[in-house]
Structure 1
Amino acid sequence: MNTKGWRQAGKGGAALLLWLLLYGANPHVSAWLAHDALGLARGSATGEAVNFFFYDTVKILLLLAIMVYGVAFARAGLQTERIREKLAGAKRGLGYLFGAVFGAVTPFCSCSSIPLFVGFTTARIPLGITMSFLIASPMINEIAVVLLGGLLGWPFAAAYVAVGLLAGILGGAIMDAVGAERWLQPLAAPHGGLTELRPIRALTLPSRITLEGRHRFALHETRSIFRKVAPWVVIGVGLGALLHGFVPEEWVVRHLGAGQWWTVPLAVIAGVPLYANVTGIVPILESLLLKGVPAGTALAFCMGTVAVSLPELLMLRQVMRWRLLALFVGVLAVFCTLVGWLFNAVFPVMGGRL
C-alpha cells in the first residue's frame, strides 16, 4: 500500500473510532441531557420521553450513516447485476429464508432496520428478500430469545423464533407475488434510485475500481439518502417518544385481559402506535402475562409494537408508496392476529402464569 493508501486507511480508521465513541456514549449523554441538563425526573413520563427521543434519534442517525455507507461501498465493488440475477432465480425461497435469518441475527428495532433496508433496495436486491429482512429483524433478537427462554420457558421462546422467521419468509413471498416492487419510491426503486447517482458513478467507478472511487461513490450516496431520510427520523422518533412516555401500561391490561377472540386484533391495533425494540418488550410481555392477559393476546400486542410502529411508517413513507405501505401493515397485522389466536390455543394462561 502506498502513502496515499495508508493516509486514507488512517482517516477511515479514525472515522470508525469516532463513530464507535459516539455510539457508545449515546446512552449516557442522552440520559445526562434529559435528567441532569434539563432537570427532568428519572421515571417521569416527560423525563423518559425526552431521554428516549435523544437516545433513539442519535442511534438511528448513526446507524443510517454507517450502514448506507457500508452497503454502498461494498456495492461499488460487486457485480450487482449477477447477484441480482442469482437472487431472482429459481431459489428465491432460499433468499427469503436468508433474509429472515439475517434479520434475526441483527440486533435492530423496527426503525433501526430501515437504513439497511434502504441499502438493500438501492443495491437492487429483490424486494421480497429485503422485506423478509425488514419483517424478521425487529421481531427476533438473540438477547430477547434468552430472556424469553428464562422467563417464559424455552418452548415459548422457540415458538416465538419460529413464527418470527415464518413471518419474514411469508411476508417476502407475498410482496414478490403481488409485484410490490413497483410501489417503491424513486429513492429506493431499483432503477430510479440510481438515476441521480449516474454522474458520480461514471466519475468514480471506472473499469478498474479503486478504493478512492468506491469511497467517493459511497459518500455521495450516503449524503443523498441521509438528507432525504434524516428529517423523518427526527419526526418519527419524536412521535414515538411521546407515545413511549405517556401511554400507561395499565390501559393495555384493562382493555386486553378479557380473553375474547376480538381482543387479539385489538391488541395488534393497540401495539402499532407504540415503539419499542424486542429486548425491551420482553419484560412488558411477562408483566402482561402475570396480570392475566392471555399469552396469544399479549404476544400479539408485543409483536405489533416491535414489528410495525408509527415512527417506522413515517420513515418508510420516504421509500414506499402508499399501496406498498398499506400492504406491509396489512400483512403484518393479519399475521400477528393469526399468531395471537394460535398462541392462545397452545399456550393458555392459568393463574397469571404459563
Structure 2
Amino acid sequence: MGNITQIFSMLNDQLLKMNWLSDLIKLLVENVFGLSISDQIGGSLHFFIYDTIKIFILLSVLIFVISYIQSYFPPERTKKILGGIKGIKGNILGALLGTITPFCSCSSIPIFIGFTAAGLPLGITFSFLISSPMVDIASLLILMSFFGAKIAIAYVVFGLLLAVVGGTLIDKLGLEDQVQGYVRQIENTESVELEMTRQERISFAKEQVVDIIHRVWLYILIGVGIGAAIHNWIPQSVIETVIGNNNPFAVLLATAVGIPMYADIFGTIPIAEALIGKGVGIGTVLSFMMAVTVLSLPSLIMLSKVIKPKLLGIFVAIVSTGIILIGYLFNASQGFFV
C-alpha cells in the first residue's frame, strides 16, 4: 500500500502539479533573466509563466478528452434523455450533464435556451445552468493540481449539490410563466442523429480545444496576472484584514466582489491559489470562485433577455445564498481540508 501511495503521489506531483515545469521555469527566471524567485519581481515572473503554461497544458488535454466523450451525446440525444426524466432525478441528471460541458456562464445560456425551447422542465434547465460553468471534469483535475484532492472533490460535490437544490427549488415554485415568450416559440425541429466516425470525433475534440482556448485565454492571463500580484506584491496583513478569517463578513465580501467580474473557473484558479497562499479561508476563496463563474454580471445581463425579472431575482437569491452558506461551512471545517 505504501508503494502504491508513493507512486500515486509522484504521478500527481509530476502530471497534475507539474513540479518539473516549476523547476524548469525557476531555471529560466534565475539563469536567463538573472532574477531570484524569492524576490518580488522574480517570484511574480515565475508565478505568471509557470501557472500560465500549466493551465493551458492541462486545459488543452482535458478539454480534448472531455469533448471526445461529449461527441457521443449530441444535443438531440441529450434532450431525449432529459425529456423522459422529471423531479429530483431530472435535476441530478441536469447537474451532472453540466460537468461534461466546459463552458463559461455566458456560453451556457444558449444551451439553456435550447433546452427550455425543447420543453424540458425549468428545474432541470436551471440545474444545468448552475453546474455547467461552475463544475466540470477539467476543473476537478485542475483544482486537484493546485489545491489537492480534498478541496477539489469538496468543491465539485458542493457545486453539484447547489445546482440540484437550486434547480429543485425553482421547479417547485412553478415559474414557467417567467420565461420570456419568444423562448417557448422558438421552433424546435428534430434533427437526424448522425453517428460520428472516430476521426470525426477527434476533429470535433480538436475544434473544441481551439474554440474554448480562444474564448478563455485572455481571462486566464488576467487571472494569473492578478494572482501573481496578490502572491508577491500585496502584503499578507492587508489580505487578512479585508477577507481574512478574522473578518466575519469575508465570505459576503468575496461573493459580492466576484459577481461583477467575468471569467471562467480556469481564470479564477490562479487568484484562488494566491489568496489561499496568503492565509485566506478556503470557504471565502471558493465563494469568490463560485460567484465569478455562475453569477457574473455579463451572464446575468444575457439571462435577463431570456427570463423575466422575478425569476432572475429568485435565481440570484438562491444561488448567492447557497454560495454564502457553502463558504461559511468550508471555513468552519477548514481544518479537515488543510
Question: Is the shorter-chain TM-score for this pair beyond 0.5, marking a shared fold?
Answer: yes
* Residue pair 1:296, 1:340 contacting (<8 A) in 2 also: yes
How much does 1:246 deviate? 11
Residue 147 of structure 1 aligns with which residue? 142
Residue 300 of structure 1 aligns with which residue? 287
User: CA offsets per residue over residues 300-344 of structure 1, 9 Å max, x none?
Assistant: 111111111110011101111001111111111100000000110
How much does 1:266 deviate? 1.5
Q: 1:285 aligns with which of 256, 262, 272?
A: 272
* % identical equivalent positions: 38
SS at match of 1:274: coil
Map 1:159-174 → 2, pairs under 5 A: 159-174=154-169
Whole-Å Cα distance in 1 between the matches of residues 307 and 121 of structure 2?
14
User: CA offsets per residue over residues 123-174 of structure 1, 9 Å max, x none?
Assistant: 1100100100000111112222112222212111111111011011001100
- The structure-2 alpha-carbon separation of the partners of 1:347 and 1:175, relative to structure 1 and needing over 3 Å to count, comes to same
* Residue pair 1:103, 1:137 contacting (<8 A) in 2 also: yes
- The structure-2 alpha-carbon separation of the partners of 1:311 and 1:245, relative to structure 1 and needing over 3 Å to count, comes to farther
Q: Say which is worse superposed, 261-270 or 170-179, in terms of deviation.
A: 261-270
- The amino acid of 1:136's aligned partner reads S
- The structure-2 alpha-carbon separation of the partners of 1:83 and 1:140, relative to structure 1 and needing over 3 Å to count, comes to closer
SS at match of 2:182: coil
Residue 339 of structure 1 aligns with which residue? 326
Residue 300 of structure 2 aligns with which residue? 313
* Residue pair 1:268, 1:337 contacting (<8 A) in 2 also: yes
Q: 1:327 aligns with which of 307, 314, 334?
A: 314
Q: 1:276 aligns with which of 253, 259, 263?
A: 263
* Residue pair 2:244, 2:281 contacting (<8 A) in 1 also: yes
Whole-Å Cα distance in 2 between the matches of residues 246 and 287 of structure 1?
11
Structure 2 unaligned blocks of 5 or more: 1-73, 194-215
* Residue pair 1:143, 1:279 contacting (<8 A) in 2 also: no
Residue 180 of structure 1 aligns with which residue? 175
- The structure-2 alpha-carbon separation of the partners of 1:338 and 1:122, relative to structure 1 and needing over 3 Å to count, comes to same
* Residue pair 2:82, 2:90 contacting (<8 A) in 1 also: no
Whole-Å Cα distance in 2 between the matches of residues 171 and 210 of structure 1?
33
User: CA offsets per residue over residues 55-90 of structure 1, 9 Å max, x none?
Assistant: xxxxxxxxxxxxxxx74xx39xx8x7x974x334xx
Residue 260 of structure 1 aligns with which residue? 247
- The amino acid of 2:107's aligned partner reads S
* Residue pair 1:87, 1:125 contacting (<8 A) in 2 also: no
How much does 1:244 deviate? 7.8
**Structure 1 stretches of at least 4 aligned residues deviating more than 2 Å after TM superposition:** 243-255, 257-261
Q: Does 1:121 align with 2:116?
A: yes
Whole-Å Cα distance in 2 between the matches of residues 274 and 330 of structure 1?
18
- The structure-2 alpha-carbon separation of the partners of 1:141 and 1:276, relative to structure 1 and needing over 3 Å to count, comes to same
Whole-Å Cα distance in 2 between the matches of residues 246 and 185 of structure 1?
39
Residue 23 of structure 2 aligns with which residue? none
Map 1:128-139 → 2, pairs under 5 A: 128-139=123-134
* Residue pair 1:294, 1:348 contacting (<8 A) in 2 also: no
* Residue pair 1:141, 1:278 contacting (<8 A) in 2 also: no
- The amino acid of 1:108's aligned partner reads F
SS at match of 1:113: helix
Whole-Å Cα distance in 2 between the matches of residues 310 and 133 of structure 1?
19
* Residue pair 1:259, 1:293 contacting (<8 A) in 2 also: no
SS at match of 2:99: helix
Q: Does 1:100 align with 2:95?
A: yes
- The structure-2 alpha-carbon separation of the partners of 1:130 and 1:83, relative to structure 1 and needing over 3 Å to count, comes to closer
How big is the alpha-carbon RMSD for the aligned residues of Structure 1 and Structure 2? 3.8
- The amino acid of 2:293's aligned partner reads V
* Residue pair 2:91, 2:123 contacting (<8 A) in 1 also: yes
Whole-Å Cα distance in 2 between the matches of residues 258 and 155 of structure 1?
20
* Residue pair 2:224, 2:270 contacting (<8 A) in 1 also: no
- The structure-2 alpha-carbon separation of the partners of 1:246 and 1:272, relative to structure 1 and needing over 3 Å to count, comes to farther
> How many correspondences in the alignment?
239
User: CA offsets per residue over residues 205-262 of structure 1, 9 Å max, x none?
Assistant: 8xxx889xxxxxxxxxxxxxxxxxxxxxxxxx9xx99x98999866994632253221
- The structure-2 alpha-carbon separation of the partners of 1:150 and 1:136, relative to structure 1 and needing over 3 Å to count, comes to same
Structure 1 unaligned blocks of 5 or more: 1-69, 212-236
Q: What is the TM-score normalised by the length of structure 1? A: 0.59
